[in-house]
Amino acid sequence: MASERIIDQLNVQLNRELYSGYLYLSMCAYFNEKGLPGFANWMRVQAQEELTHAMKFFDYITKSGGRVKLATIQVPPLEWQSVEEVFRETLAHEQKVTSYINQLVDLAIQEKDHATNNFLQWFVSEQVEEEENARNILDRLRLVGEDKGSLFMLDRELAQRVFVSPAQER
């Protein structure tokens, strides 16, 4: 069984993952309103991923003998100045999540909780991918600048993203 301190921090991260889902759903709604269905789709898939991450924490807490403690979820932003700003915020958010996961790993190591450390390694790898995906889109947005044709092409490309549950990845 994980320590109370570990369970408390896993619950904090569970609620952070739920917030991430809210944030990306808000970005999805923003893109829908702006007539960018491909970007909206990308964010909707991102929200699904984050909610799946939350459920991984939920299940691990339960399996570890802990009690899940859901908290109030902060209201995410509703407006952005540009598509590029959305992806700057996405990258910054993912970098923050990476730091939280790293802190959890540090705590698991400090407490010699090998099971929790092992559980968290999936998230360590996942965060590399999350940051890379956001960075790649942001780089492309910077390249296209104000070119609406290129933005339209990128929107069409992002419309192709589909949700793949972690169970299907293996």
CATH number of the structural domain spanning residue 83 = 1.20.1260.10
pLDDT at residue 168 tops 60: no
pLDDT at residue 27 tops 90: yes
Does residue 169 form part of some domain?
A: no
- One-letter amino acid at 79 equals E
Does residue 119 form part of some domain?
A: yes
User: What b/e string do you get for 4-22 counting C-beta neighbours within 10 Å, with b at 16 or more?
Assistant: eebbebbbbbbbbbbbbbb
Does residue 151 form part of some domain?
A: yes
pLDDT at residue 26 tops 50: yes
Across 92-104, average pLDDT: 98
What CA dihedral angle connects 38, 43, 49 and 54, to 10 degrees?
-160
Domain span at residue 51 reads: 4-69+78-164
Across 128-157, average pLDDT: 96
- One-letter amino acid at 63 equals K
Worst-scoring range by mean pLDDT, 18-27, 31-40, 143-152? 143-152
Banded model confidence at residue 167, pLDDT cuts 50, 70, 90: low
- One-letter amino acid at 133 equals N
The total number of structural domains in the chain stands at 1
Banded model confidence at residue 29, pLDDT cuts 50, 70, 90: very high
Does residue 170 form part of some domain?
A: no
Q: What pLDDT score does 165 carry?
A: 85
